[in-house]
Amino acid sequence: MKDILSSFVVFEGLDGSGKSTQARILSRNLASGGRHDVVLTAEPTDRPIGTLVRSVLRHQVTTTSRALALLYAADRSDHLYNGESGILKSLDEGSIVISDRYFYSSLAYQGVTEDMSWLKTINDYPHPEYVIFVDTPAIDCMKRIDKRGEEKELFDRIDYLEKVRSNFLSVFSCLPDGVRFLRVDGLAPLEDQAERISRFVNV
């Protein structure tokens, strides 16, 4: 069986899907019981490689699509294995780790332009125990992104996000046994989404 990291929870979704909000709510709910230490984290990370990725997303640095795919994968290796704040360290210490994005994002986003089998090779990382897909149609995500009034990032285009969603669906249709998967409707009321997610994550 593929390596699966227990007590590791991953949120995925399009930009503007609402996944970060749900990750925060779950983190708060799990921590509030007092039974768990919870680490809420995200990719791209705020460490050096992730910061470089963010500057590409914000059009401050240009590179190729292939180099960006490698940077995401490198940031992920650091995110998992660095000895200061890495995911594995936190899991070993008994924390529940919730990550806003993980390698499924690379398969879905970079999969629009790059070869899927190459992406799987450079992202041969362990799966999490839980994957939660906040599924919001690309058109609604774009409306939310427009409403924020911020500069658009690299992938904030409807045609791109539609392809990303379709990649997510095909990636999630072949998760290995042992990975628990939940799709929530990103247009449902926030509290309903949060309640379904809290019931699903049984730690």
Chain residues in the site for ligand TMP (CB under 6 A) = 15, 43-44, 57, 72, 100-101, 105-106, 109-110, 153, 155
Q: From its phi and psi, is residue 6 left (phi > 0), alpha (psi between -120 and 50) or beta?
A: beta
Handedness of CA 111, 117, 121, 126 (dihedral sign): positive
Nearest distance from C-beta of residue 150 to ligand TMP, angstroms? 11
Report the alpha-carbon distance of residue 52 to residue 91 in Å, rounded: 26
Using the minimum distance from each CB to ligand TMP, give the nearer residue, 36 or 57. 57
Shortest separation between residue 7's beta carbon and ligand TMP, angstroms: 20
CB of 53 to ligand TMP, least distance (A): 7
CB of 194 vs ligand TMP, minimal distance in Å: 18
Identify which of residues 54 and 196 has a Cβ nearer to ligand TMP in the complex. 54
Residue 36 or 52: the one with the smaller Cβ distance to ligand TMP is: 52
Question: What are the residues whose beta carbons fall under 8 Å from the beta carbon of 113, sequence distance 6 or more?
Answer: 65
Nearest to 198 by CA among 42, 4, 24, 16: 24
Question: For 39, which DSSP code?
Answer: E
61 vs 203, beta carbon nearer ligand TMP: 61
